[in-house]
Amino acid sequence: MPPPRKVDLLPAELRLWLQEELKSRGFGDYVALADALNTRLEEDGLELRIGKSAIHAFGQEYEHFVKAQEQASAWAAGWMNDNGLEEEAKRHNVLFQMITTLAFKVMQSQMMKEGDEIDARELHFLGKMLKDVMSSSGIREKLMEEERERIARETRERAAATVEKHARSAGMTAETVEGIKAEILGVSA
């Protein structure tokens, strides 16, 4: 087993700092970034030193991840907007972004392969993941239908109450009023 990369030995706080610095420097300026990182390591009393090449390798990998995440996020946002899921996207953004990022990365890796290099298991899991995401849309549709039915029921109830009030004031019998109400509500009198 190969030894861990030096970047993987960084404390979490410094790894986050490195990631932010890579983004802010446009994934470049590796010599200055290596100097800044090693200065921080020294100030923190750590003996670990990381060279420009190690930071460059990590930076390239991280840049690829960031771009894949941005592409997946843009795709997800477009898909959500196309399907009228803006509010749901706000509530489930983190989970959905994680799933779409993973799906996008798997799709990208599979698209670069040829014939016998393609792992059928990865495609199976990708299909299952996408099916689950799509089925959540079905759940959303069911919830929206239930909401539409609730609104229609409440509207009918308000209308029936208004008609009942006016019918009674017009002197209709209780039986006639109940018949009209039942007709509006769609129930037997």
**Residue tagged 């990365």 (tokens):** 105
Q: Which strand (E) or helix (H) includes residue 50? A: none
Give pLDDT, residue 161: 84
Quote the Cα angle for 62-64-68, to 5°.
115
What angle separates helix 52-82 from helix 30-43, to the nearest 10 degrees?
110
pTM of the model: 0.46
Give pLDDT, residue 112: 66
Inter-residue contact 67 to 59 (CB < 8 Å):
no
- Supply the DSSP symbol for 41: H
Give pLDDT, residue 43: 93
Around Cβ 178, how many Cβ atoms within 10 Å? 15
Residue 73: phi and psi, rounded to 5, are -65, -45
Give pLDDT, residue 111: 65
Q: What is the pLDDT along the chain (189 residues), one digit of tens a residue?
A: 678 889 888 998 999 999 999 999 999 999 999 999 999 999 999 999 999 999 999 999 889 888 888 887 777 677 667 666 665 555 555 566 667 777 777 776 766 666 677 777 777 777 787 777 666 656 666 667 777 888 888 888 888 888 888 888 888 888 888 888 788 777 765
